[in-house]
Amino acid sequence: MRLSTSLLVAASMFLAASVGWAMQSGPSQMPSGAGQMGQMRSPEERAALAYNSGVEDMKKADEYEVAAAKETDTKAQEKAHRKAHYAYLSARNEFQDATRLAPKLPEAWNNLGYTQRRLGSYDAALAAYERALALRPGFPEALEYRGEAYLGLNRIADAKQVYLDLFASNRALSDQFMTAIKRYIDDHRKSGAPDGATLDEFATWVQERSQIAAQTAALTREGTAASWQ
């Protein structure tokens, strides 16, 4: 995950409108005058606490995964993966609470989808992304993460469409998704699934789209330079 998945600023806008206070980048503080007992907190306040806790666990899980990728010792790598797994489980539980308490918060659904996907529950992840996109049509992060879930299910045609949609609307995320696609191709060449012909066709498509992206970027840079002359 990239840190952009936290989306705390956008989430705070929703909850601030509901309870008059915003979530911070760290664990939320109770609003002034709120009771200390859980039953005295409003659903919105409990949703904010759950959301923030989920974000913190999600960040920890991603950090463990980064550490695992850098490890050369097999046992240490496995230990880091286990820590990541349990942190993702904890984050998923928190986001499930957040979506139950604040079902109209697209960021919570998006992050729920992310944790479901990292835990291998691709269908559940897609369902969460659909909820996020229903609440915020065109939500770019949800589109990109949905594309990665499609890859997890070998739904190549759907993944292609996600890339095309992102290319038209958000070049940074389309580039990010293209990196995920290339990683998918590399990984599946080793495993042999999907079949070789399908993977070769996908790789050819990726090469063509990468060339188009590079040409478009070059034209954009030239146009920007010309505008300053």
Q: How do residues 11-24 score in pLDDT, each as one tens digit?
A: 444 444 443 333 33
The answer to whether the CB of 15 falls within 8 A of the CB of 23 is: yes
* CA dist list (Å): 63 to 1, 71, 84, 181: 9, 12, 8, 22
* CA dist list (Å): 28 to 25, 31, 100, 176, 229: 8, 9, 18, 30, 49
pLDDT of 53 > 70? The answer is: yes
pLDDT of 65 > 90? The answer is: yes
Report, at the CATH architecture level, how domain 1-24+42-139 is classified. Answer: Alpha Horseshoe (1.25)
Query: How confident is the model at residue 228, as a pLDDT?
Result: 45
Band of pLDDT at residue 219, cut at 50, 70 and 90 = low
Mean pLDDT over the full length of the chain:
83
Q: Provide the sign of the torsion angle of the four alpha carbons 192, 194, 86, 70, taken in this order.
A: positive
Residues of the chain within CATH 1.25.40.10 domain(s) are 1-24+42-139
Q: Percent of the chain beyond pLDDT 90?
A: 70
Q: Provide the sign of the torsion angle of the four alpha carbons 91, 92, 94, 95, taken in this order.
A: positive
Query: How confident is the model at residue 221, as a pLDDT?
Result: 53
The answer to whether the CB of 94 falls within 8 A of the CB of 108 is: no
